[in-house]
Amino acid sequence: MDKLTRERSDLSGMEKLLDEIEAQQDISIDWATYSIVAYQFHKSKREGESGNIHEEVRREGWYNHLISHYAHLGYKDEMLRIWGLQKISKKQINQDYITMLGSLVKLGELETAEAVLKEWDSSCCTYNFEVPNILLTGYCQKGLVQKSETMLRNIVERGKKPTPDSWAIIAAGYLDQNDLEKAFQCMKEALAVKENNKKWMPKRGQIKKNITMAW
């Protein structure tokens, strides 16, 4: 049996199993099941079947899972389409923005991520640094550590108090660039805001790298 035949056989079996499960009134299918099936249809280029599966996911309101799924496939336009549907159907919360920002950063779409963060910034009731931290990380991953630091300092100037993790992200970025002085300054900033996060400690890898570079 060649590869194509095996794939078709596997998909047919998957369809049959899904139909049987959906027919059972006492069994509910979660988003993960639909997502796995949709992914297999995408791989086999059977877009119509994939769309039907996604309609089920949208109907149940699992927008974040779909956005993550499309990010895995590299489908930015589909991510934005689902994001738009989510806006219409519900009031978006921090977790929604975290999912979307993380997905955009994964695809390297930093300009779009900036726009999404600006949207969140203008509408959030409580400033949760888990949201901007995603873009801070995205900048550092692309080597834009100075831009990441500038962004964080601008937030601080507006009266927001970051978590130690925010500064640690930038410190790690500077360490990757072998800039020990700036990394050390950022770690000092992290320790300065530790009072509300008393259990926070820098990661062992960061400490080890600091010591290694110092010698």
- Structure confidence at residue 30 as a pLDDT band (50, 70, 90): low
At residue 65, the pLDDT reads: 83
- Structure confidence at residue 210 as a pLDDT band (50, 70, 90): very low
Residues 84, 213: Cα–Cα separation, whole Å: 47
Cβ(117)–Cβ(136) below 8 Å = no
**pTM, rounded to two decimals:** 0.71
At residue 49, the pLDDT reads: 46
Residues 89, 83: Cα–Cα separation, whole Å: 10
Q: φ and ψ at 135, to 5 degrees? A: -70, -35
Residues 178, 209: Cα–Cα separation, whole Å: 9
Cβ(162)–Cβ(129) below 8 Å = yes
Residues 138, 71: Cα–Cα separation, whole Å: 15
